[in-house]
Homo-oligomer: A and B are copies of this chain.
Amino acid sequence: MMNQSTPIINHYVALVKVSSFENCLNSVEKIANSIATDLNLNIVKKASHMFEPQGITLIYVLSQSHLMVHTWPELGVIHVDLITCSYRSREKFEKCLKHALNGHAIDSIQIKSIEFDKLDYND
């Protein structure tokens, strides 16, 4: 029997432009923590890297997959990559992202939803 299914891979990528953003890990963690809390995500591991002269990558391994935030403080650019193996709507993701960025003057937000064709399995 041919079965059409794929593991749930709920993948959103966001590119946000804010008027200014400090080169501070704590600020990036606040954003990631807010998103994780609002979307009910469980953080199991954290890794971060501070680039020279600036820029931060913060990665949370989730029990549902991963949340990654990259920042370019010199440009006011924040890039978010969220993969979960359970469904969250795009509207909910956008709402949580805006909530996480509360206090920052947002110039623009672009969000992409990444979807693949279903895979075939032979049972």
Contacts and interface: CB of A to CB of B under 8 A. Distances in A.
Interface of A: 6-7, 9, 11, 13, 15, 17, 44-49, 51, 57, 59, 61, 63, 65-66, 68, 70, 72, 75, 77, 79, 81, 83, 107-108, 110, 112, 114, 116-117, 119-121
B112 A114 contact: yes
Given A75-B7, A119-B77, A45 B45 contact: no
A61 B65 contact: no
Contacts of A46: 47
Nearest to A121: B75
Contacts of A7: 72, 75, 77, 79
Given A45-B49, A66-B59, A70-B65, A112 B116 contact: yes
